[in-house]
Amino acid sequence: MKITLVKKILADGSPCKKCGDVLEKLESSGQIAQIDTILTADERDPESDGMVLAKKLDVDRAPFFVVEKDGAAPLVYTVYMKFVKEVLNQKTEEKDELKEIMENNDDLDFL
Amino acid sequence: MNDTINLVDLDSNLQAASPQEILAHALAEHDNIAISFSGAEDVVLVDMASRIKPGVQVFCLDTGRLHAATYEFIDKVRQHYEVDLQILFPDATAVQQLVNEKGLFSFYQDTHKECCAIRKVGPLRKKLLTLDAWITGQRKDQSPGTRANIPVVQHDRAFSRPEEVLVKYNPLVNWTSAQVWDYIRSNNVPYNKLHDQGFISIGCEPCTRPTGPGQHEREGRWWWEEETKKECGLHR
Ligand code: SF4
């Protein structure tokens, strides 16, 4: 299994805060060791590795994780809690999962 | 990977299609599919879908905080259309805990995200975990800030079952509010009577207010909060 994390640099050159939060969580929990590659999606550069991968996999937000297993199509995770629960088998609280989904999916404001 | 490519191609094929064509495609493609109906003007989806596939699944999130008029309207829709209309409720323990800790109006201090997560996202996710596809009434013109790039069809990665694909269709995405209302009037579609009182976008009672001339419809929702910032999106 190969896990790639794509983090973002905003159009004004500043790092994405949410990506920073996710990286910090991965580091403090030691889960960073399970991430094989970290790519950067630089909004100023459509050719940056992360932007190319996002386009290829039709992902419209960051950070995101790509999980590749032999012989299977890559799986994309845009919700950190979903990723740690389903891929890293970490126990999560329903409350935290829902909060993350709500906070990071602005388009849910139609509900 | 193939699924992703297929959906991207399908999206470009369906961009010029009518909402009815998109709905017909979605309903033909998936048996286990449901329409999310909010009690506002996306009733046009219910009207269109019930003509294409009578008995289609429709669900509605009852947060416990809706306007009385919205409850009346939902019931009217249930009686008017040949659909399987389900009303979904939030987890009672989670609501109880929130209200015990923070009272009934915590969203005015803490923003709407926590309350919406419990009252809307929780029951929505529970429902979506049982489906292969869902249909929303989202339109680009509802919120230029957060919806400018909404596709007709997309992978819903936030709510999919582990290692499975959940497809989300947005048949009204390219329609304007005027087109929706033209359809409602020409087809005698029932609508929430709050619309006649100046409400454009209708959500929960404490979080929705009528909008005045020149105001955008989003100004009627969560008006005490700053405009949503789109930090997480990838702007390509
Ligand atoms: S719209 Fe308001 S009352 Fe309704 S769930 Fe969201 S914050 Fe709670």
Q: Which chain A residues have a beta carbon less than 8 Å from that of B116?
A: 102, 108, 111
The DSSP-derived string for B118-153 is: IIIIHHHHHHHTT-SEEE----GGG-HHHHTT--SE
Please tell me which residue, B40 or B28, carries the higher pLDDT value. B28
| Residues of B annotated as catalytic (active site), given as ranges | 232
B35-89 per-position pLDDT tens digit: 999 988 899 999 999 999 999 999 999 999 999 999 999 999 999 999 999 999 9
Q: Distances in Å between the alpha carbon of B113 and those of A4, A105, A106, B62?
A: 29, 10, 10, 16
Sheet holding B153-155, edge to edge: B84-88, B57-61, B33-36, B133-135, B167-169, B153-155
Report the sign of the C-alpha dihedral through residues B170, B172, B176, B180, in that order: negative
**Is there a contact between A16 and B232 if contact means CB atoms under 8 Å apart?**
yes
Q: Whose CA is nearest to atom 4 of ligand 1?
A: B204
Total Cβ atoms within 10 A of residue B144: 10
The whole-number average pLDDT for the span A53-57 is 93
pLDDT-based confidence at B1, cuts 50/70/90? very low
The pLDDT score that the predictor gives to residue B178 is: 93
The whole-number average pLDDT for the span A4-17 is 93
Q: Give me the torsion for CA of A32, A35, A36, A38, rounded to 10°.
A: -90
The pLDDT score that the predictor gives to residue B130 is: 97
**Is there a contact between B143 and A109 if contact means CB atoms under 8 Å apart?**
yes
The whole-number average pLDDT for the span A26-48 is 94
Q: Are B172 and B47 in contact (CB under 8 A)?
A: no
A49 pLDDT exceeds 50? yes
Say what percent of chain B tops pLDDT 70.
92
pLDDT-based confidence at B146, cuts 50/70/90? low
ipTM of the complex: 0.85
B207 pLDDT exceeds 90? yes
The pLDDT score that the predictor gives to residue B235 is: 61
B125 pLDDT exceeds 80? yes
What residues of chain A have any CB closer than 8 angstroms to a CB in chain B?
8, 10-11, 16-18, 41, 43, 46, 51, 54-55, 57-62, 73-79, 82, 86, 94-95, 98-99, 101-111
Q: How far apart are CA A39 and CA B10, in angstroms?
A: 28
The pLDDT score that the predictor gives to residue B227 is: 61
Q: How far apart are CA A28 and CA A21, in angstroms?
A: 11
Q: Report pTM.
A: 0.90
